[in-house]
Amino acid sequence: MIHSKKIYSHVLVSLCFILFVSITCKSVAQQRTPEFNVIAFYTAKHDPAHISYVHEANRFFAEGATKYNFKYDSTNDWNNMNASFLAKYQVVIFLDTRPDSAAQREAFQKYMKQGGAWVGFHFAGFALTLSAYPQNWDWYHNTFLGSGEYKGNTWRPTSAILRVEEKKHPAVRNIPSTFKSSPNEWYSWKNDLRKNPDIKILLSIDAASFPLGTGPKQHEIWHSGYYPVAWTNTKYRMIYINMGHNDMDYGGTNGTLSYTFQNEVQNKFVLDGVVWLGTTKVRSKK
């Protein structure tokens, strides 16, 4: 009887120890210091597809921050685009649009030239003269992005087969050589990025995607051509990603019909890209 009590006592002590270690480890994991800080700027006005996408993106990156150990903040106040605010963050994301005032643009350009990192999605690359978002920022659209003005797009938002172009790049080396994307409105550009020696194209639309788009306008259906959808400029720490336009029930309920971040492979690419930018050492500028 006494022997049984001793065994029971040892078992109880062991279980208590295991529970203590488990709770302690969990507490330490929860309190670990983030490896880097990310700030996302957004506007989320006018187009229901962009609004839907921005809300989805904020949820996605908040969850990704927990899994990949970075701190994620977001703001719709573009006046925060200043040196003192940006100094808190290692990665800046433009979920949609871009800074418009001269002071905001100067602060962002300086941040990037001093070694800051950036990810831009979809409409963050848009510029069209004689539109509400004209090409009036030459450094951003021609030097930094390299794409120049928007040229055209597919319609409706449709999935595409994407092809990896730089398999050794950290953002894409852990995903298949080709994969099916989430539905998206795909952009084309005035500049041929293949002719720019500073640009490395990470993803492009595979020919298996054609015809891409459903119209009703014929020029919104692509039947051939080369279309980059994600790239980096080797002179900066950046990635532009053309994805970021959910399909919507336009003219009906305006409800969301498709989601950008309901795609495991695409999500892996996005988060691997953010982590690459957030954890690589800043290169010294000559």
Question: pLDDT of 209-230, one tens digit each?
Answer: 999 999 999 999 999 999 999 9
Asked if residue 129 lies in contact with residue 247, where contact means CB atoms within 8 angstroms, the answer is no
Residue range 132-168, pLDDT digits in tens: 999 999 999 999 999 999 999 999 999 999 999 999 9
Structure tokens given for 104: 């905001």
Site of tokens 């003192």: 84
Locate tokens 């950036």: which residue? 118
pLDDT at 46: 86
Instruction: Please indicate whether residue 27 or residue 218 has the higher confidence score (pLDDT).
Output: 218
> What kind and span of H or E run contains 231?
strand 228-233
- Mean pLDDT along residues 230-255: 96
pTM of the model: 0.88
Q: Which helix (H) or strand (E) holds 51?
A: helix 48-68
Q: Evaluate if residue 123 carries a pLDDT over 90.
A: yes
pLDDT tens-digit series, residues 176-192: 999 999 999 999 999 99
Backbone angles phi, psi at 222, to 5 degrees: -95, 135
**Which pLDDT score, from 0 to 100, does residue 281 have?**
75
d(CA 166, CA 171): 9
Segment 34-89, tens digit of pLDDT: 999 999 999 999 899 999 999 999 999 999 999 999 999 999 999 999 999 999 99
pLDDT of residue 241: 98
C-alpha torsion angle, residues 106, 110, 112, 117 (rounded to 10): -90
Instruction: Using pLDDT thresholds of 50, 70 and 90, give the confidence band for residue 251.
Output: confident
The DSSP bridge partners found for residue 230 are 203, 241
Packed helices 48-68 and 264-279: angle between N→C axes, nearest 10 degrees: 60
Q: Provide the 3-class DSSP secondary structure of residue 159.
A: coil
Q: For residue 36, which phi and psi values (nearest 5 degrees)?
A: -160, 165
Q: Give Cα 166 to chain centroid, integer Å.
A: 18
